[in-house]
Amino acid sequence: MKRILLGFGIVAVIAAVAIYAYREPLMEAVAAQLTKDMFVAGDSDAFDPGVPIDAAFPKIHATYAGAELRDIDAFAGSRGTVFIANRSVVW
C-alpha cells in the first residue's frame, strides 16, 4: 500500500513539475481552444458605412456659435481634428 501511495506521489510531483515547466504553451493552447470560434477573420459583408479611413471628410451642414458651418476644417487645431457623430440618437 505504501508503494502505491509513493508511486502516485512521484507521478504527481513529476506532473506538477512538467505543468510548471510548460505553463506558457499550455496556457496558450487552452486560450486558443476556448476562443477558436469567438472571432472572425475579417469583415466579409458588402456593407461599409461611414467615411473610409484617410479619406477627406464630406461637407457638413451645422450651426456652431451662431454661425453656419459647411466644412469641418473650422474645428481643426494644430494637431488635427477628432470628430464624433452619432446619427442614431432618439431625442
pLDDT single digits (tens) 15-33: 999 999 999 999 999 999 9
pLDDT tens across the length of the chain (91 residues): 888 999 999 999 999 999 999 999 999 999 999 988 887 777 777 777 777 777 777 777 788 788 888 877 777 788 877 777 776 666 6
Count of domains forming the chain: 1
How many CB atoms are located within 10 Å of the residue 74 CB?
A: 13
- Please report whether residue 89 resides in a domain: no
- Do the domain assignments include residue 22? yes
Question: Residue 88: inside a domain, yes or no?
Answer: no
- The answer to whether residue 82 is domain-embedded is no
**Is 83 a member of any domain?**
no
pLDDT of residue 63: 82
Domain span holding position 21 = 2-75
Looking at residue 88, its pLDDT comes to: 67
In a domain, 18, yes or no: yes
Closest CA to 61 of 49, 72, 48, 52: 72
| Residue 70 grid cell | 459647411
Looking at residue 90, its pLDDT comes to 64
Closest CA to 50 of 23, 87, 78: 87
Q: Chain-centre distance of CA 32, in angstroms?
A: 16
Residue 62 phi, psi (nearest 5): -145, 165
Which pTM value belongs to this model?
Answer: 0.35
What pLDDT is recorded for position 15?
93
